[in-house]
Chains A and B, each alone.
Chain A
Amino acid sequence: MIETVLNAFIPGDSKLKMPSASELDFNSYKIKHGIEKIEIDFLLELTKISSDEFSKKFIDLNEDQKIKALNLCKLRKVRIFSAFLKNIFRFYYSDKRVLSLINVGSSPPFPDGNKIDDVDWTMLIPVYERGLIYRELDDE
């Protein structure tokens, strides 16, 4: 079920060449960060909502129903939903493959860093021409 859930949250996008969350190694992330309980609480709630609202298992819902089920979970159990969602984003957007695809700049261990072009400081002429804006004190 977890693969279906991951895919519902973050499906792949062939146009942008982005992988779905289910293509990445969620299991390692889960173990490393000790979120088993967060996952179980969420899946139990999602299973209950799917059953109560659609009389189906979550994996048998169509795409629209899956999103509706997720949103219902957010409405009814916001803490459980938020805790799980944050971990989905943390898992997905710390993945090396994903980071390489989203123009994140140089990735750790940062061999070269990021170049930022120099600025034309004549941009500050209007500020300078207005004169001093701090309060000068008589005794200073």
Chain B
Amino acid sequence: MNDVADIIIIGSGASGAAAAWSLSRDKSLRIVCFEQGSLSNMSDYPTKSEDWELSRSEKSSFDPNIRKNLADYPIDDSNSPISIANFNGYGGSTILYSAHFPRFHPSDFRVKTLDNIADDWPLSYSELNPFFDENEKKMGVAGLVGDTAYPEYNSLLPPVPLGDMGQKLAKAFNDMNWHWWPSYAAINTDKRNNRANCINLGPCNVGCSQGAKGSVDVTYWPLARLNGVEVYTESRVYEITLDKKGLANGVLYFDKHGNECEFKAKIIIVACSGIGTPRLLLNSKSEAFPEGLLNDNGLVGKNLMLHPLGYVEGVFDEDLKSSIGPHGCCILSQEFYETRDENDFSRGYTMQILRGAPPIETATTGYFMRQLSIGKDHHQDFKKLFNHTAGIAIISEDLPELHNRVELDYESKDMFGLPGVKIHYEMSNNTKNILNHGIRMSKEIFSSAGAKVTSSFAPVKNSGWHLMGTARMGSNPKTSVVNKFGQAHRVKNIFIVDSSVFVTSGAVNPVATAQAITLFACDYIRENISNISNPL
């Protein structure tokens, strides 16, 4: 086969899959996606056996340094209070995510204008609105229209069930006169698009063996492949190459047998996450970009944002069957999302109500939090905890700071001898104040609900899922890497479409916004393809 494509997409995760589907509607295009991981098979997910919970600390761990799949590369996060979480494989981190799917808010795109901090985005909520809608239809998002914390949604699947615990906390929010709303969740609450409905198994974040969770291997990818997109799995791109005119003309990659290969393309789309994207760019050195591709202004890898998380756990006297239902998704509150004059911080946070822990986690954390003993009282203690607990996760807005960054780590290399990455990250005082406030308010909610708070802390170490800002978008080439369409300022046929391009982080899970940005960018690519493409 001739190794020339019209478009190469690097990465098959949330954004890469959305790009593949969007662009594949033009069936005249040859589109090839490179994915360093392997295919996932729903029938192999651990939720099909009783000991599924064990897999969270083994092959389904969200920590690449524990999981150590062949597709994973070393990530040294010892210089960060937050560990990086991801999944490298067909479908990317959506395989293991909890499927939270809230949008960014209008104010998230105008942080400088409204709050005089960080920067405004070069695009707005209203520009993205049709792409949010389109994306939610494709991913299958449950929720409820009418949320007072957002402009109106058009339609959503029925919300995930709250259960007794969710209703108990919803009442507490009402008693406090605070906002709450059922979670936005990429979970099929009805049978739809040839996918089964959720039957409340619970462990969404080890892979959904029911196929009800909207991971992109079951949403966008079947459509894109039907349209002819080719996917090369277990194929690691390690360099984007440039021609003498300064345009990208292809990629170098290791195939599944370890052979070094080349694939030419007219347009390159990078969708490798806020860590993988800067890793690839920084590793793509050339005469034109000796410090890494697109890094002439030194911004590639900088401004890393991670959404530091706070956590508060409460225990109720009664058995609320709290462990049953989609683990991450129940209700959320955005009472403290927007900037308020009386706070000692700018911006704000979302409170996400998490269901109770499964048995092993209940026993383990219960013991180390001194809520559960070993010996003769063990079973009584366990009975008082299991199905009696709820968690509140506080997702704080994280602001961009140059010193928070991703660098290549030449001391730790992957299986092909390519450098790993080193993370340098520290929380700002603004973030610390947000988390402190969130913890205090969460304790008030539990108190109002009649629950006893058993633990509260921030930041949560193993929570670095949301990887943003490391190739930011903007109008000024001196202060940004790509423009509003994800198009590189310096190389017109390279596009970045993952959350690397985020200017600020908002205080919600980023995937809905990352995919909306992707669809927005791909419309631009399709409309301008003849002007953008390298004629080769």
Interface residues of A (CB under 8 A from B): 8-11, 13, 16, 18, 33, 63, 66-67, 70, 82, 85-86, 89-90, 92-96, 98-99, 102-110, 112-119, 121, 123-124, 126-128, 130-137, 139-140
Interface residues of B (CB under 8 A from A): 47-54, 57, 105-107, 110, 114, 124-126, 144, 146, 148-151, 159, 161-163, 166-167, 170-171, 173-174, 177, 179-181, 198-202, 209-210, 319, 321, 323-325, 334-335, 337-338, 358-360, 362-364, 367-368, 374-376, 378-380, 382-383, 386-387
The minimal Cβ–Cβ distance linking B207 to chain A, given in whole angstroms, is 13
B114: chain A residues at CB < 8 Å are 135, 137
Q: Is the interface of A mostly helix, strand, loop or mixed?
A: loop
Whose C-beta in chain B lies nearest to the C-beta of A106? B201
In contact, A130 and B179 (Cβ under 8 angstroms): yes
A93: chain B residues at CB < 8 Å are 53, 359-360, 362-363
Whose C-beta in chain B lies nearest to the C-beta of A126? B174
In contact, B49 and A109 (Cβ under 8 angstroms): yes
B151: chain A residues at CB < 8 Å are 134, 136
A85: chain B residues at CB < 8 Å are 364, 367, 374
In contact, B48 and A133 (Cβ under 8 angstroms): no
In contact, B179 and A113 (Cβ under 8 angstroms): no
A98: chain B residues at CB < 8 Å are 359
In contact, B50 and A94 (Cβ under 8 angstroms): yes
In contact, B54 and A130 (Cβ under 8 angstroms): no
In contact, B380 and A104 (Cβ under 8 angstroms): no
Report the separation of the CA atoms of residues A9 and B374 in the bound assembly, to the nearest whole angstrom. Answer: 5
The minimal Cβ–Cβ distance linking A88 to chain B, given in whole angstroms, is 8
In contact, B105 and A134 (Cβ under 8 angstroms): yes
In contact, A99 and B170 (Cβ under 8 angstroms): no
B159: chain A residues at CB < 8 Å are 119
Report the separation of the CA atoms of residues A136 and B367 in the bound assembly, to the nearest whole angstrom. Answer: 47
A107: chain B residues at CB < 8 Å are 50
The minimal Cβ–Cβ distance linking B475 to chain A, given in whole angstroms, is 15
Report the separation of the CA atoms of residues A66 and B367 in the bound assembly, to the nearest whole angstrom. Answer: 17
- The listed residue (A10, A90, A115, A133) touching B149 by CB distance below 8 A is A133
B319: chain A residues at CB < 8 Å are 103
Q: Given A134-B150, A137-B107, decide whether A127 and B174 contact each other with a Cβ distance below 8 A.
A: yes
Q: Given A11-B376, A99-B50, A137-B107, decide whether A132 and B148 contact each other with a Cβ distance below 8 A.
A: yes
Report the separation of the CA atoms of residues A119 and B217 in the bound assembly, to the nearest whole angstrom. Answer: 31
Q: Given A10-B378, A124-B181, A134-B338, decide whether A96 and B107 contact each other with a Cβ distance below 8 A.
A: no
Q: Given A105-B321, A134-B151, A135-B114, decide whether A94 and B161 contact each other with a Cβ distance below 8 A.
A: no
Whose C-beta in chain A lies nearest to the C-beta of B150? A134
Whose C-beta in chain B lies nearest to the C-beta of A135? B107
Closest 10 pairs (CB-CB, A-B): A113-B199, A94-B51, A116-B161, A93-B359, A13-B379, A89-B363, A114-B200, A135-B107, A93-B360, A18-B379
B364: chain A residues at CB < 8 Å are 85-86, 89-90
Q: Given A110-B210, A130-B177, A140-B106, decide whether A115 and B359 contact each other with a Cβ distance below 8 A.
A: no
A33: chain B residues at CB < 8 Å are 54
A117: chain B residues at CB < 8 Å are 161, 163
Report the separation of the CA atoms of residues A106 and B166 in the bound assembly, to the nearest whole angstrom. Answer: 20
Report the separation of the CA atoms of residues A63 and B376 in the bound assembly, to the nearest whole angstrom. Answer: 9
Whose C-beta in chain A lies nearest to the C-beta of B197? A113
A140: chain B residues at CB < 8 Å are 106, 124-126
Q: Given A16-B380, A127-B148, decide whether A137 and B106 contact each other with a Cβ distance below 8 A.
A: yes
Q: Given A8-B374, A104-B323, decide whether A127 and B106 contact each other with a Cβ distance below 8 A.
A: no
The minimal Cβ–Cβ distance linking A64 to chain B, given in whole angstroms, is 9
Which of B174, B334, B359, B362 has the largest number of chain A CB atoms within 10 A? B359
In contact, B179 and A127 (Cβ under 8 angstroms): yes
The minimal Cβ–Cβ distance linking B209 to chain A, given in whole angstroms, is 8
Q: Given A10-B374, A67-B375, A94-B51, decide whether A134 and B106 contact each other with a Cβ distance below 8 A.
A: yes
8 residue pairs bridging A and B, Cβ less than 8 Å apart: A66-B375, A92-B363, A104-B358, A105-B202, A114-B325, A130-B177, A133-B338, A135-B107
Report the separation of the CA atoms of residues A140 and B368 in the bound assembly, to the nearest whole angstrom. Answer: 50
- The listed residue (A18, A110, A123, A136) touching B170 by CB distance below 8 A is A123
Report the separation of the CA atoms of residues A139 and B53 in the bound assembly, to the nearest whole angstrom. Answer: 49
A110: chain B residues at CB < 8 Å are 47-48, 199, 201, 209-210
Whose C-beta in chain A lies nearest to the C-beta of B386? A102
A10: chain B residues at CB < 8 Å are 374, 378-379
In contact, A134 and B49 (Cβ under 8 angstroms): no
Report the separation of the CA atoms of residues A70 and B376 in the bound assembly, to the nearest whole angstrom. Answer: 13
- The listed residue (B48, B167, B200, B324) touching A109 by CB distance below 8 A is B48
- The listed residue (A94, A96, A108, A121) touching B47 by CB distance below 8 A is A108
